[in-house]
């Protein structure tokens, strides 16, 4: 993957993460606390968390193909890095105070990460099937 494509992916991921969080929080606030409005500090905090989450995608960058084992190691490293950075930032700015809050945040991050991994697995599986179909078609053309 070229570096320019990777940077585009990081920017896209940031915008998707930020937009998703804002939409979810807006809907939940309308349901449970309709009188609560967003302030700039809340928006900047969400933006910071989104940017930090997207920047951890640097762990995925490689200019060449890597093995399945190396990819699994990167998944674990990415998850742990994301957990440590987000909990540290939350503690630093006072969003999380104490061990119970940190554990709850860690659990929430783990659940979201698992959902994202499951969704990306389905996408990866579909792409692999498409590649296999193309390879079969090329192989068939060669034999004909």
Cβ neighbours of residue 118 under 8 Å, at least 6 residues apart? none
DSSP state of 95: S
Q: CA-to-CA distance for 18 and 26, rounded, in angstroms?
A: 12
Model-wide pTM > 0.85: no
Which helix H or strand E contains 73, and what residues bound it?
Answer: helix 68-93
pLDDT in tens, the chain (144 residues): 677 888 888 898 888 888 888 988 898 899 998 898 889 998 999 999 899 888 988 888 777 888 888 888 998 999 999 999 989 989 998 989 899 999 998 998 888 888 777 877 776 777 777 777 887 888 787 876
Judge whether 43 and 29 are in contact, CB under 8 Å: no
Q: 37, exposed or middle or buried, with CB in 10 Å at 0-12, 13-18, 19+?
A: exposed
CB atoms within 10 A of CB 31: 8
């Amino acid at each position: 993957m070229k570096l320019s494509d990777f940077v585009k992916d990081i920017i896209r991921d940031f915008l998707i993460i930020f937009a998703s969080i804002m939409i979810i929080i807006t809907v939940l606030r309308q349901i449970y606390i309709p009188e609560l409005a967003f302030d700039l500090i809340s928006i900047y905090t969400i933006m910071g968390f989104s940017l930090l989450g997207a920047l951890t995608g640097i762990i995925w960058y490689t200019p060449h193909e890597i093995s399945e084992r190396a990819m699994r190691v990167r998944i674990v490293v990415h998850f742990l890095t994301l957990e440590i950075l987000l909990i540290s930032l939350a503690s630093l700015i006072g969003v999380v105070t104490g061990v119970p809050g940190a554990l709850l945040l860690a659990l929430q991050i783990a659940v979201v990460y698992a959902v994202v991994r499951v969704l990306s697995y389905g996408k990866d599986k579909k792409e692999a099937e498409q590649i296999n179909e193309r390879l079969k078609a090329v192989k068939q053309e060669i034999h004909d």
